[in-house]
Structure 1
Amino acid sequence: MRDNPFDEIETLLDRVSRQVEEGMAAGGLQVPGTVPVDVADTDEAYVVTADLPGYETDDIELTLSDGTLRLEANRLGDDIAAEGTYLRRERTKTSASRRIRLPEPVDEEAGAAGFENGVLTVRLPKVAGGEDSKRIDIE
C-alpha cells in the first residue's frame, strides 16, 4: 500500500501548532511593534505592567476609553551622527502600541501610572460604571 503524501505535511503542521501554543502559554510570542504587558486582577483594581526600555515618560501616551486601555509610545532615534559617523545603527526611531480590554469597568478618575527603569505600571481601580474617555498622566 502506498503512503499518504500528506502525512508529512500534517506532521509538520502539528509540530508548528504545538510550538505556537507553547509559545503563547509561556508568553514567548511577541508581535513586532507591540508592548509586552502583564495584567493582574487584584480584588480592588487591575494592575497593568508594561516593558518600555529606552523610552522616556514624555514618549508615552495612555488613554482609557470604553473599558480599553490604550498605550502608545514613540521614540525618536538619537541624532549623534552630527558628531561622527555611525559604524552601526540599530537604535532608530521606533514606536510601539498596545490595547488592553478590561473585563470590568474601572474608576477612570482614580487611575494612576508610574514609570521607572523602563517599566510602566498602571493601576486602575474597579467600579460599577463609567464610559467616557480619560487621559492618564504618568508620574
Structure 2
Amino acid sequence: MPDKRDPFRELDEFLERMNEQFGGIGRSLEPGLRQEIRVDVADHGDEIVVTADLPGFDRDSIEVRLDDGSLVLDATTESEATDEGEEAGVTYHRRERQQRSVSRRVSLPAEVLAEETNATYANGVLTVTLPKQSPDDAGGKRIEIS
C-alpha cells in the first residue's frame, strides 16, 4: 500500500528548496508569518548534528521535534508594543519589540534514533545531536542467498 501524501510537508520541502535556490527571497513574501532560522547540518558518520541560530529566545520557548524524517524547530517570543508605561519597577519611554515567531523544517539525510536524540541551547545557539539508525536498528535482517 503506498504511503499517504502529506501536501503540507511537500509544500515545506518545496519552500526550503526555493529558499536555497533564491537565497531567502521566498521568506520576504510572507512578512511576519515565517522568519529565517539559519542551520548547519553536519554528518559525523554515526550521528547527524544540526546547529541552529536562535538568538533572543528563551530555552522554554523553543520546540524541537522529529516528524516523518525531518527535524522541526519552532520558537516564539512575545512582548507588548507601547509608547510609555511601567513594568516591574522600570519606566519605559518606548517599547517596540513585539512577538516574533520562527519555524524551520530540516530534512534529515538519514534515518535517526529518535529516543537517543538530544538537544542543548546556549548563547542563542541550539545544537541537536541525532544518532543515525543502522540497518540492524531498523529491524532489518540480512538475508543469506543460498
TM-score, length-normalised on structure 2? Answer: 0.62
Aligned partner of 2:70 in structure 1 is 68
Higher RCO, Cα 8 Å, sep 6+: 1
1:116 aligns with 2:118: no
Amino acid at match of 1:50: A
1:33 aligns with 2:35: yes
Aligned partner of 2:56 in structure 1 is 54
What per-residue deviation string (whole Å, max 9, x for no partner) do you get for residues 10-60 of structure 1? xxxxxxxxxxxxx958x9647351211111111011100000110011000
Aligned partner of 1:106 in structure 2 is 112
Amino acid at match of 1:121: T
Gaps of 5+ in 2: 1-18, 28-33, 140-146
- Extract structure 1 runs of 4+ deviating beyond 6 A: none
TM-score, length-normalised on structure 1? Answer: 0.65
Aligned residues: 106
Aligned partner of 2:102 in structure 1 is 96
24 and 98 in structure 1: CA distance in 2 versus 1, 3 angstrom threshold: closer
- How high is the sequence identity, in percent, across the aligned residues? 42
Amino acid at match of 1:87: R
Gaps of 5+ in 1: 1-22, 131-139
